[in-house]
Amino acid sequence: MQEEEIINYTQVADSRIIAIFNLATVAIPEAERLFSHVLNAQHIWAQRISGLKPIYGVWDIHPKQDFESISVLNFKLIRDVLKNDPLDKSIEYCTSKGIRYESRIDEILFHLFNHSTYHRGQVVTLLKKAGFEPPVTDYIMLKRDHLL
């Protein structure tokens, strides 16, 4: 699977979650907190790879109305990373606790997309408990429906 495919999948899956939040007329605080975390992690890693200081903290909470615009910017940053740097390039970065590490871009992106999938599953469970029809976010189903 090519990098662009996993980026497209993650973006489409995230957009399906965002669509539910956009329809929700009630607050779903825990789901909003977890999805904010997904968006923050995407932002933080893209900024780290680019050598820039992240704007968001790991657990910052965003208004659900901002999810879509944050997501669009995140995926622009991620795609810029792929255009500008080879996947086997190692970068140095500091964690939110100030601990210094070095990792390859491909390893970071693998972590980032896996992390997003993990927390999307949690968000979908919370949305379902709140009475919403969970969106289809399975890769193969999105692929079969020609959404990827």
CATH number at residue 64: 1.20.120.450
Domain hosting residue 30, numbered range: 3-144
Token pair listed for 107: 């390893």
Q: Please tell me the distance from the alpha carbon of residue 95 to that of residue 93, in angstroms, as a whole number.
A: 7
Q: Which of 36, 121, 50 is nearest to 82 (CA)?
A: 50
Distance CA 39, CA 124 (A): 15
Are 35 and 143 within 8 A, CB to CB?
A: no
Overall number of domains in the chain: 1
**pTM of the model as a whole:** 0.94
Q: What is the pLDDT of residue 47?
A: 95
pLDDT value at position 96? 85
Tell me, what's the pLDDT at 144?
92
Inform me whether the pLDDT recorded for 143 exceeds 80. Answer: yes
Q: What is the pLDDT of residues 50-74, one digit of tens each?
A: 999 999 999 999 999 999 999 999 9
Q: How confident is the model at residue 24 (pLDDT cuts 50, 70, 90)?
A: very high
